[in-house]
Amino acid sequence: MNLPNIISKLVKAQTQFDSHAYADCFTDTAVVFDEGKTHTGKTEIQNWIDAANKEYKITMKPLDYIEKDNILSAEISGTFPGSPLILKYNFELSGGLIESLKITG
């Protein structure tokens, strides 16, 4: 699968539970939409993913990537009810970083 470099870095950071490296994949003003909540800016994004990592130990396995729409389908596994799940990661990229990420079921 030919993922953009920044998305590959995000997957690697998630698999290593590295919330700092994960947040560094985003622009300073980036927005993440997940489970009905919005997380804005690197600090909020880092705090959100750090809490999720500690609680659920989520790993990502990329399954498919639609380049024209910047949509990654991934199997996520962890210590949450219903694991594993397949989620869609809808990215907007800007200047080699992630400007927006919407995670949907």
Q: What is the mean pLDDT of residues 19-29?
A: 98
Tens of pLDDT along 62-89?
A: 999 999 999 999 999 999 999 999 999 9
Query: Per-residue confidence at 29, pLDDT binned at 50, 70, 90?
Result: very high
pTM of the model: 0.93
Query: Per-residue confidence at 1, pLDDT binned at 50, 70, 90?
Result: confident
State the pLDDT at residue 65: 97
Using a 10 angstrom Cβ sphere, with 0-12 exposed, 13-18 middle and 19 or more buried, the burial of residue 14 is buried
